[in-house]
Amino acid sequence: MNESRTWLLALYSELSDEQLHRPLTKSEHDPHNLWSALDHFGHLALVERNFVEMIRRHLVGQQNPVGLLKDESGARRTREQIGAVVHAMTDRYQLDHHNDSFSTAVALTADARSATLQLLAQLSDEQLEERLEGAPWADGTLGGVLGANADHARMHWQWVTAVDPFITGAPSD
């Protein structure tokens, strides 16, 4: 996780302000809303925080700790409904943070990573192997879900570089 963060910070820190803020990808919730490279980076804080909260809910025995499989009435959601909920949530966060500076996004993602590392320090090896009910990420274990943050960061970087030919995949290319 630390190597992934170092790698990602190196990549983003080499981008110009214009590259960070240029509209790049269509939102999966509202196709009129365009995400910038910095939006993709900042979004990582939301997901990492959410993973920590899901695991904390699991640890205290809460039913439906992921909170996506069932709606407020307890009815199972379809895959499409889950996607709609997730995309709406990520868009709300993106819109709230769209005008953040790079340093603000770095601080938000650092704070989220700090929460992850604090949680990791509290978990036993046995707990890391527990299944997080409803988690589709990695192998579904607590450790796997936390480790998925690194893959999530790489995925967003790939989306950014796929649509902007002037942003490359390694620092100092």
In a domain, 173, yes or no: no
Would you state the pLDDT for residue 132?
A: 97
Whether 17 maps to a domain, the answer reads yes
Residue 64 lies in a domain: yes
Residue 121 inside a domain? The answer is: yes
Residue 169 included in any domain? no
Answer yes or no: is 14 within a domain: yes
Q: What domain count does the chain have?
A: 1
Does the residue 102 lie in any domain? yes
pLDDT of residue 125: 97
Confidence of residue 169 (pLDDT cuts 50, 70, 90): low
Question: Residue 100's domain is classified under what CATH number?
Answer: 1.20.120.450
Strands (E), the chain: 23-26, 34-36
Residue 173: pLDDT above 70? no
Q: 116 by DSSP, 3-state: which?
A: helix
pLDDT in tens, 32-89: 999 999 999 999 999 999 999 999 999 999 988 999 888 888 889 998 999 999 999 9
Q: Are 105 and 42 in contact (CB under 8 A)?
A: yes
3-class DSSP assignment, residue 76: strand
Full domain range(s) for residue 51: 2-163
Residue 168 lies in a domain: no
Pair 13, 28: CB distance under 8 Å: no
Tell which phi-psi region holds residue 74, choosing left (phi > 0), alpha (psi between -120 and 50) or beta: left
What span, in angstroms and rounded, lies between the C-alpha atoms of 149 and 166?
A: 25
In tens, the pLDDT along 119-161 reads 999 999 999 999 999 899 999 999 999 999 999 999 999 999 9
